Structure 1
Amino acid sequence: MDGVAGRSSHQRPTVLVTNDDGIDAPGLRALVRALVSADRYRVRVCAPDSEKSAVSHSITWRHPIAVKQVDVSGAEAFAVSGTPADCTSLGISNAIFSSVPDLVLSGINKGSNCGYHTVYSGTVAGAREAFFNGVPSVSMSYDCIAFEDYTLAAEACLPIIGAILDKIRNHSYPNGSFLNVDLPTDIANHKGYKLTEQGRSFFVMGWRLVSSETQGGQMLSTMTMDKDVAELPDMDASTMSAEHRLFKREVRKSLVDDNDMDHQSLQEGYITVTPLGGLSPAEKEFQAFFKDWLPSLSARPCSSAL
């Protein structure tokens, strides 16, 4: 890890903060305040200029992204028009900062990121991108309700951040994974840290037909402007113009395995700490199935010959 070119040589460790809720999100601001108040770190921020929730690990490829320096007290900060993965990549690249950070922190996200939800999460992707590039990282999410104060959540993250940086300084921090941390709703009375494994919790999503306010014949509502959208559960899609139909995602049900360590432990009040990697290998039983199945394909005629 310490062989990464351009790694910070400052006496104080350098921490880069990003997120997917946007640079003005209360979770990010609370985390930055906690880091600055600790007076132990050099703090940088490179985060999306607007909300980029659930964009997963998407990156901007074909077009340039805009970067603007912004005022974040105690930190050197930039708002970026790209995704969380873009922000991390840019922040560790030496393009806008003078050195590579010692640690990347992504969060604190509004809402938990357990189980399969880590695949959708831009917050997790912000940490994963650092991991891909050999920089230690942690994604952090708070299972909050409505508009919670993130101050206690941020303070609860400081011990693990400090411990990681101590290990990095001693050249003893492992480089084979990154950490996904979830903070329970009742953070003031949490039960401590608990090492967990990624489970299979998942929201089954559906689609609801919605209407849109119009003005001058133009539709005002888009995927990013849903304040003007009203749900119409009984609308018949066949009676609406195909050009003007809008559909909005909704949660139909939650699938949670009782053996899911991360989700279950979070609900029990623990701060869950889940090591994640960059690969998603299938379980051994499925590897065995396809090992037997694949050779049989050679005996089948090609579909184009049928």
Structure 2
Amino acid sequence: MTTSTISTAALNWPVSDRSSKLSFSVSVNNTSACSFRSLFSSSWRRFADRRTGLSVDYSSKKKQRVHICGIWGNLGRQMENKPMIMVTNDDGIEGPGLQSLVGLLASTNRYQVCVCAPDTEMSGVGHSITWQNPLQVKQVEIPGATAFAVPGTPADCASLGISKTLFPRVPDLVISGINKGSNCGYHILYSGTVAGAREAFLTGVPAISISYDWVGGKSTVKDYKLAAGACLPIINAILADIKNKTYPLKCFLNIDLPTDVLNHKGYKLTKQGKSIIKMGWKKITSEAQVGKILSTMTMETDHLANIDMNATEVSQESQNSLLYMREIRGLEVGEKDTDYYSVREGYISVCPLSALSHAETDSETYFKEWLPSVTECFSSSAL
């Protein structure tokens, strides 16, 4: 028997029967220990990773593959010692942002990686949930992760993923993303990506949402990998604080990365601004070719310009109805030091959010005087 080092990222661990004897066929990977050094909150933190060593049976005649037999007991304990991260999104489980993020997390061999994400695109659904209908969940293959596709919203997926129904325990951290398009300002209210993190936060599980400011014709799929790498120091720092029981649970983080993520100017703590894409409605003549908008912040005029608003295919049903589609009518960026403005300046915006909605100070002052006068007037008129 020879002892070697393998990458457990190649294993898709079962989630139910831990006591049974398991057989795996995986590739040997003799990579040395990895180390990470990250900068977060002006402090350097060092993280080291030692790959799991297992006894490997080389009795197989195939030179490229090895056969491993083991009992879940030891493997399970080794896996449980690693932080568990659950990933969801609103672009769908096959979205390149999620795939890039999961690929990076699995390649470090530092975490147990689980995925519970919509089986189709769910951009712009906000914090909607499925209430009356059951969800038929399907396990899918994603290298290095245990993954399930769900015909539900991001909030559904986050709730299901942290319920211990699909996975053996509650994850240490939930990450929603990486979204195609930034989610800043008022668009946070529309975002399914942010809602996935918010749902976990409402249940007391630390969470972050990650979005990349995709620009058509400039951004590429490779930028998702760069975005994932840029978020790794934050992820490691959060997990370290969770382990030390110092991480605040009164908020979750919304992270937005600039288009030129390779040359970003650094991490910037921001507040939610008032940026919003002004939308209107336009009458169209066909349901055909309208497509789906990929993100609440990716509704660009060039995207809508490719849609044939004068298509001639009109269904019998639509002849008796009116068809309207949203159209862009402008963009408001918001103030300096807010999330969207900072992203456009080239910074990685780190914006703490909560589930509570507070009115602005001047509004609160107004209503403190307004409400007593209303109640007094009502009491007088009632007499």
Paired letter, 1:125 = A
Relative distance call for 1:184 and 1:60 in structure 2 (3 A) is: same
Which residue is 1:274 aligned to?
351
Tell me if the contact between 2:275 and 2:333 (Cα under 8 Å) persists in the aligned partners.
Answer: yes
Offset at residue 289 of structure 1 (A): 1.1
- 1:249 equivalent to 2:249? Answer no
Structure 2: distance between partners of 1:11 and 1:207? 53
Structure 1: distance between partners of 2:272 and 2:346? 17
Offset at residue 243 of structure 1 (A): 3.0
Aligned pair count? 284
Please state whether the residue corresponding to 1:212 is helix, strand or coil: coil
Q: C-alpha offsets along residues 16-60 of structure 1, whole Å, 9 cap, x if unaligned?
A: 000000000000000000101111000000000000001010011
Corresponding residue to 1:200 among 263, 269, 274: 274
Please state whether the residue corresponding to 1:12 is helix, strand or coil: coil
Please state whether the residue corresponding to 2:183 is helix, strand or coil: coil
Corresponding residue to 1:116 among 186, 189, 192: 186
Work out which of the two has the higher radius of gyration on C-alpha atoms and give 1 or 2.
Answer: 2
Tell me if the contact between 1:198 and 1:260 (Cα under 8 Å) persists in the aligned partners.
Answer: no
Corresponding residue to 1:230 among 287, 308, 315: 308
- 1:134 equivalent to 2:204? Answer yes
Offset at residue 259 of structure 1 (A): 2.8
Offset at residue 186 of structure 1 (A): 0.3
Corresponding residue to 2:165 among 80, 95, 110: 95
Gaps of 5+ in 2: 1-76, 294-303, 312-316
Which residue is 2:83 aligned to?
13
Corresponding residue to 2:141 among 57, 71, 85: 71
Which residue is 1:148 aligned to?
220
TM-score, length basis structure 1: 0.86
- 1:162 equivalent to 2:270? Answer no
Structure 2: distance between partners of 1:275 and 1:16? 20
Q: Which of 244-253 and 38-47 deviates more?
A: 244-253
Paired letter, 2:180 = K
Relative distance call for 1:195 and 1:70 in structure 2 (3 A) is: same
After superposition, residues 36-47 of structure 1 pair within 5 angstroms as 36-47=106-117
Tell me if the contact between 1:210 and 1:229 (Cα under 8 Å) persists in the aligned partners.
Answer: no
Tell me if the contact between 2:184 and 2:275 (Cα under 8 Å) persists in the aligned partners.
Answer: yes
Amino-acid identity (%): 56
Structure 2: distance between partners of 1:173 and 1:197? 19
Which residue is 2:342 aligned to?
265
Structure 2: distance between partners of 1:82 and 1:68? 12
Determine which structure has greater relative contact order: mean sequence separation of CA pairs < 8 Å that are 6+ residues apart, divided by chain length. 1
Q: C-alpha offsets along residues 136-192 of structure 1, whole Å, 9 cap, x if unaligned?
A: 000000001236221111111111111110111111111110000001000111111
Tell me if the contact between 1:69 and 1:78 (Cα under 8 Å) persists in the aligned partners.
Answer: yes
What RMSD over aligned residues (CA atoms) do the two structures have, in Å?
2.6
Q: C-alpha offsets along residues 54-87 of structure 1, whole Å, 9 cap, x if unaligned?
A: 1010011111112110111110000001100000
TM-score, length basis structure 2: 0.70
Gaps of 5+ in 1: 1-7, 214-219, 234-239
